[in-house]
Structure 1
Amino acid sequence: MITYIKLAWRNLWRNKKRTLIAASSVFFAVILSLIMRSMQKGYYDYMIDSSVRLYTGHIQIHGKDFWEKRSLEESMIFDESTINKIKQNKSISNIIPRLETYSLISFGKVSRVVQVTGIEPDLENEVTKLKGKIVEGNYLGENSNGILIAEGLAKLLNANVGDSVILYGQGYHGITAAAIVPVVGIVRFTIPEQNKTFTYLSLNFAQEHFSAYDRITSLSILLKDATEIESVKSFLKNLFDDTHEIMDWTELSPELVQSIQIDNASGIIMLGILYVVIAFGIFGTIVMMTAERVKEFGILVSIGMKKWKLAVVTTLETIFISFIGVAAGALASIPILLYLVDHPIPLTGETAEAILEWGFDPIIPFAFYSGMYFAQIWTVLAIAVLSAFYPFNFIRKLKPSAALRG
């Protein structure tokens, strides 16, 4: 067998141009399939991460009926000891308390219904980078009595930093919640819906304004590793009774899950089409290599070389070429994918507007992880190795007299 391996390896480099052409077809197939799958997986990861960080968390704890009613009556009281118990789980990276409700905001003759979110400014900024979205004014402090409003909302109200807006709504137990609140900062969101409806108060001020002292509506939990969701959910369910509801992001955002599943199905179909194109490209190259060597094969069989031995050697050649192309493609794709992961492709025009309507930034993000990486490599390698059956079958049916005549 070692002799056949040596013969196959030497045959590759007798015609370097032919070998490089064949290996190149595998090389570009690996890079193309990796980039396509990286783009698909990257966008799914981005959609999930955006939803998790901005709103739901990987897991969310709230009052039993809060998710259905969205009422302050379903808010909760969390003391420091309970928070410390949750922090004992090493899989948890961040715990973000929020008080969320809706209220009427007015300035001059303009009024709008907006979402009001009470936040702990430093904790919120760690997760959502809200401070970095400030385009005018200042960020909230822990005891701030001001309000952050979205840029689009500020334009609708014609309000600026330093102006005072009226917040009017219903507080805990139906108490009227009305106050004149100064605008301390304006934040810009790329998503139009957020940019027209989001407002933020410091958690302390929000609890005081809505008469929901020491209460929150949700506790969003971010994990170090999203694969630990089920184990952390079990841990949390042992800490809380039936008056609390513990939901993960798939339950909180079913529309997102469905859209990912639908897109992934279409993505797999597109990847399948790509593999068919790749298979024809690799197979065509192998056919070309075989056709060029018909006379060579005829001479070898005529002087007494067994067909099965020749078939083994040509099969090994194809396998070597496949490995060379796959290895080169895998190595070359690493810097390409790492660059794309750090530098997502921005989108413009109608495509960008369509993506913004879905609630995500208009970019094409990429992902890089071993599972995706090796799955594409082995698939392309399998296609290349299967193509080796063509020269094997060709040699089996070879007639030396016809081969010598070309």
Structure 2
Amino acid sequence: MYIALSWRNLWRNKRRSLIAAASVFFAVLLAVVMRSVQNGSYAYMIHSSVKFYTGYLQIQGKGYWDNRSLDQSIVINKKQQQEILNIPHVISAVPRLEAFSLVSHEKVTKVSQIIGIDPILENNMTELKKKLVKGKYLTDSPDGVLIGQGLADMLKVSVGDSVVLFGQGYHGVIAAARLPVVGIVKFPISEMNNAMVFLALPNAQNIFSAYGKITSLAIMVDTIKNQNKVYKSLKAMFNNQYTLMTWQEMMPDLVQGIEIDNASGLVMLIILYIVIAFGIFGTIMMMTSERAKEFAVLISIGMKKIRLIWVSSLETVFLAFLGAFAGTVVSLPIIFYFHYNPIPITGNAARAFDTLGVEPIFNFSTEPSIFINQAIVVLIIALATALYPALFIGKLDPVKAIKS
């Protein structure tokens, strides 16, 4: 009876009910859009950063991350790499042999990071070929090196010139080679642009006497939410034989930056919730005050206050549900549209994104939890405002209300 009566009461004054439901509707819509763009931007930034070089996960020799020594290199054969690729949600596994060496041309010498790569696998993950500004890309044959544009400028080399590598190989063996520059690549991050030299993995293994060895295997996962599943599978596969690192461990600065930004975003969201709460409360208070005489008449003809409180509270519940449901439904096409058609960023902000190697766009997240959580929070706020009509009716003096 209470439910039917409450539902009918809503539509006795459609304008008043729609105003109340609209306040909840816009609150849910605004909260969902705000949180979606925030979470979507984080996910996109993380994916772009790990795809740029590290991968979501890396398999390394024990102690390699701290020492960066070829002596901590490991052997992961083709069969094991294929087994890793067969793990659900793994989309690529990229082997690398990394070492530091002197790179010389004529009278100029610089310390550089030498990276032996599988040209095809590396390009599939990091799109290294797209960064080529001059010359040609690497092949599996030992045909030379790719060199960062900044380093090429410092050494005063171009495509066709040769550079000399001189360093320390596996177990202290001298590593030296004279290699032609086949291409020049440009990175948005100056530290990489000024120090990186790429060559085919078999060539690097020969030069550094690390035959069949790699220093890391970078692993890309389809989405960040599946990272832990893949991590557990790899742990079980190698049984602590090697060190397994996550992107959070390899890029703590990015994690810290996201945490700080997320905290500020949550503060903004809390402020939004407070504004929403006052907006909904103001609407409910106005509706309740308008109905004071109506409540007084019902009490005067014998309706108990507790029943009237139940009816009034149910009305608020219905309005809150209607507004929250409508806000969630309307937000769905908006979020999905901007998920597949991100908003481009221009100006100085775009240049800041470019320096990080991240495409300057605002991406939107379509995680179901965003819609559910925001709707629930706004719904709780709306339901909390039902206390006001209950207290108002409880203190209502029918005689004074009718006279006023």
TM-score exceeds 0.5: yes
Per-residue deviation, 1:214? 2.2
Q: Deviation per CA, 1:69-107, whole angstroms, max 9, x where unpaired?
A: 212232223333433444454453321101122344456
Quote the Cα distance in structure 1 between the aligned partners of 2:33 and 2:361: 15
Q: Deviation per CA, 1:311-354, whole angstroms, max 9, x where unpaired?
A: 22221121111111111111111122122323333434444455
After the TM superposition, which segments of 4 or more aligned residues of structure 1 sit over 6 Å from their partners? none
Quote the Cα distance in structure 1 between the aligned partners of 2:379 and 2:210: 62
Please, what is the CA RMSD of the aligned residues? Answer: 2.9
1:340 aligns with 2:338: yes
Structure-2 change in CA distance of 1:128 and 1:310 (3 Å): same
Q: Deviation per CA, 1:123-158, whole angstroms, max 9, x where unpaired?
A: 122222333444554433222623334455556666
Secondary structure of the 2:12 match is coil
Quote the Cα distance in structure 2 between the aligned partners of 1:237 and 1:309: 66
Structure 2 counterpart of 1:177, which letter? A
Quote the Cα distance in structure 2 between the aligned partners of 1:23 and 1:151: 59
Quote the Cα distance in structure 2 between the aligned partners of 1:305 and 1:289: 20
1:180 aligns with 2:179: yes
Quote the Cα distance in structure 1 between the aligned partners of 2:371 and 2:353: 27
Secondary structure of the 2:137 match is coil
Quote the Cα distance in structure 2 between the aligned partners of 1:364 and 1:228: 28
Q: Deviation per CA, 1:15-63, whole angstroms, max 9, x where unpaired?
A: 2222222112111111221122223322332333233323332322222
Quote the Cα distance in structure 2 between the aligned partners of 1:404 and 1:192: 77
Structure 2 counterpart of 1:257, which letter? V
Gap runs ≥5 in structure 2: none
TM-score (norm 1): 0.86
Quote the Cα distance in structure 2 between the aligned partners of 1:25 and 1:199: 59
TM-score (norm 2): 0.87
Secondary structure of the 1:37 match is helix
Quote the Cα distance in structure 2 between the aligned partners of 1:373 and 1:52: 27
Contact 1:229 1:248 in 2 (8 A): no
Structure-2 change in CA distance of 1:163 and 1:291 (3 Å): farther
Quote the Cα distance in structure 2 between the aligned partners of 1:390 and 1:135: 67
Quote the Cα distance in structure 1 between the aligned partners of 2:20 and 2:155: 65
Aligned length in residues: 399
- Amino-acid identity (%): 47
1:217 aligns with 2:218: no
Quote the Cα distance in structure 2 between the aligned partners of 1:295 and 1:262: 52
Quote the Cα distance in structure 1 between the aligned partners of 2:132 and 2:25: 46
Secondary structure of the 1:13 match is helix
Contact 1:177 1:211 in 2 (8 A): no
Secondary structure of the 1:95 match is strand
Secondary structure of the 1:94 match is strand
Quote the Cα distance in structure 1 between the aligned partners of 2:285 and 2:135: 68
Structure 1 counterpart of 2:228, which letter? T
Quote the Cα distance in structure 1 between the aligned partners of 2:365 and 2:152: 36
Per-residue deviation, 1:303? 2.9
Contact 2:188 2:355 in 1 (8 A): no
Quote the Cα distance in structure 2 between the aligned partners of 1:393 and 1:135: 72
Quote the Cα distance in structure 2 between the aligned partners of 1:112 and 1:286: 71
Q: Deviation per CA, 1:220-252, whole angstroms, max 9, x where unpaired?
A: 2233421314422421332x63xx322222332
Structure-2 change in CA distance of 1:169 and 1:356 (3 Å): farther
